[in-house]
Amino acid sequence: MKKDGRSRINWIFENFVTFLRKCILRVLSVGPIPEHIAYIMDGNRRYAKKQNMIEGTGHRVGFLALMSMLKYCYEMGVRYVTIYAFSIDNFKRRPEEVQSLMDLMQEKIEGLMEEESIVNRYGVRVHFLGNLKLLSEPVRLAAERAMVATANNSKAVLSICVAYNSTNEIVHAVEKACEEKWEEISLLNASGSGYGLIGLECIEKDERENLIKLIDIEKHMYVSIAPDPDILIRTSEIGFRHLLWAILNFQRNHFYLEKKRKQL
């Protein structure tokens, strides 16, 4: 009887908390809600150390926290969420640590594809951004399968950065832009209308400096599938109240930042 009573109280409490949260989110929604929130998932190892957990558990706890964050974001109507899960620089860690992170990733990616997972509940399309060739084959295949499995979801987007870093992405985008321009020029040449562009000698200097435009590079960025993030959160410990604070800050500065954006 006692156990029943306790679990009943738990049930009431949980539902009350959910109800409160939904009220808060409804109030927040009166103001502008960010379209895209990005998270740098930092601090898992520090957290595990602080809580005296065995190494590796920090990441699992971090993952649970992330799932809650995603739920709050999608409930609020944030369409795009990006998470920075694994950096190319993280490969420098001890091989055992890297391997356990890869195993965890594979396990969680496969979990995402299950029926009751958060991505299917909220209609989220998943993208993996980064130099996926650097991942071990089972992880890369799992990622590709997840992308295909969620390709038809259209309510929201989750971008997961793995084997990613910003400079690698920029160089990759530049390389792709150059390859594309080369093909364009080759085609023009083949059809006889290239004016010998391949040689470059015949072009005016300023034309030569302007063959690759910024827009050509931007469209090859991994992150071009989403608009620019409105808020970037680097976590050390994160809960609902931190997200709330971030959104309130966003709303406070929204007008000023929109003005700056239009100036660009």
Partner 1 sequence: MVESYFISSGLMKSYKALNLGKLRYLAIVVGSEEAYQTSKVIELLQWLEAIGVKHVCLYDMEGVLKRSKEAILEKMSNTTVFQEADENDKLLDQKHMMLEFVSFSDGKEAVAKAANLLFAKYLTSNNSSEDQEGEIFTEPHMTEALRAVGSGGPEPDLLLVYGPARCHQGFPAWRIRYTEIVHMGSLKSMRYGSLIKAIYKFTMVRQNYGK
Catalytic residues: 42
Q: How far apart are CA 41 and CA 58, in angstroms?
A: 11
243: exposed, middle or buried (Cβ count in 10 Å: 0-12, 13-18, 19+): buried
Q: Is 253 in the site for partner 1 (CB under 8 A)?
A: yes
Q: How far apart are CA 164 and CA 86, in angstroms?
A: 7
For helices 137-149 and 95-112, angle between their N-to-C axes, nearest 10 degrees = 20
Q: How far apart are CA 174 and CA 92, in angstroms?
A: 25
To partner 1, the closest distance from the beta carbon of 212 in angstroms equals 5
Residue among 27 and 214 whose Cβ is closer to partner 1: 214
Among 95, 192, 193, 256, binds partner 1 (CB under 8 A): 256
Q: How far apart are CA 83 and CA 157, in angstroms?
A: 11
| Residues 77-96 close enough to bind partner 1 by CB under 8 A | 87-90, 92-93
To partner 1, the closest distance from the beta carbon of 237 in angstroms equals 17
| Residues 148-207 close enough to bind partner 1 by CB under 8 A | 165-168, 170-172, 174-175, 177-178, 181-182, 198-200
Residue among 13 and 195 whose Cβ is closer to partner 1: 195
| E strands in 198-249 | 231-234
Q: Is 99 in the site for partner 1 (CB under 8 A)?
A: no
Residue among 107 and 228 whose Cβ is closer to partner 1: 228
Interacting residues of 16 by C-beta distance below 8 A, sequence separation 6+: none
Residues that bind partner 1 (CB under 8 A): 87-90, 92-93, 165-168, 170-172, 174-175, 177-178, 181-182, 198-200, 208-214, 217-218, 249, 253, 256-257, 260, 263-264
